[in-house]
Each structure stands twice: as structure tokens, then as C-alpha cells.
């Protein structure tokens, strides 16, 4: 599961870099609605990646909590 979460994090980081570079261009030309739309789409993709990362993190926490609850009885 950790590998899956790290792939989502990597994808999110790549999207953030792309978004930041586009936003830099957009800040110099705020009338460029094409760029604004592209940035909005990237923001949506970033949010989706963040959601996946959070789901994976919660799943790992549940698995760790379940493992802690497993009690072995001595013989």
C-alpha cells in the first residue's frame, strides 16, 4: 500500500510543479482564460491525488490499529 500512496504523492508533486509554472505565466497575463482553465483542471487532478493519498494513509492506519489489537495468548 505504501508504494501505491507514494505513486499518488509523486503524481501530485508533478502536477503541482506543472501548475506552479502555468500559474507564473498566468499571473503575467490574467486575461488568458485558456491557462486559467488548464490550471483549474490541474487543481482538480491534484485534489483527486490528495484524496487517494489520504485514503491510503487511513487504510494504513486502520491496518496498524488492527495489528495492535491482535493479542496472542500465552500457552
Residue 65 falls inside a structural domain: no
Q: pLDDT truncated to tens, each residue of the chain (75 aa)?
A: 567 668 999 999 999 999 999 999 999 999 999 999 999 999 999 999 999 999 999 998 888 888 877 656 666
Range of the domain at 46: 2-56
Contact 42, 19 (CB under 8 A): yes
pTM of the model: 0.77
Residue 73 falls inside a structural domain: no
Residue 67 falls inside a structural domain: no
Cβ atoms within 10 A of the Cβ of 38, count? 16
Q: Please give the Cα distance from 20 to 41 (Å, whole number).
A: 13
| Maximum C-alpha span of the chain | 75
Domain count, the chain: 1
Amino acid at each position: 500500500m505504501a508504494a501505491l500512496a507514494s505513486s499518488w504523492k509523486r503524481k501530485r508533486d508533478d502536477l503541482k510543479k506543472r501548475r506552479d509554472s502555468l500559474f507564473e505565466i498566468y499571473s503575467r497575463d490574467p486575461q488568458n482564460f485558456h491557462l486559467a482553465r488548464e490550471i483549474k483542471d490541474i487543481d482538480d487532478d491534484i485534489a483527486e491525488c490528495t484524496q487517494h493519498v489520504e485514503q491510503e494513509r487511513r487504510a494504513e492506519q486502520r491496518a496498524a490499529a488492527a495489528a495492535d489489537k491482535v493479542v496472542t495468548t500465552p500457552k
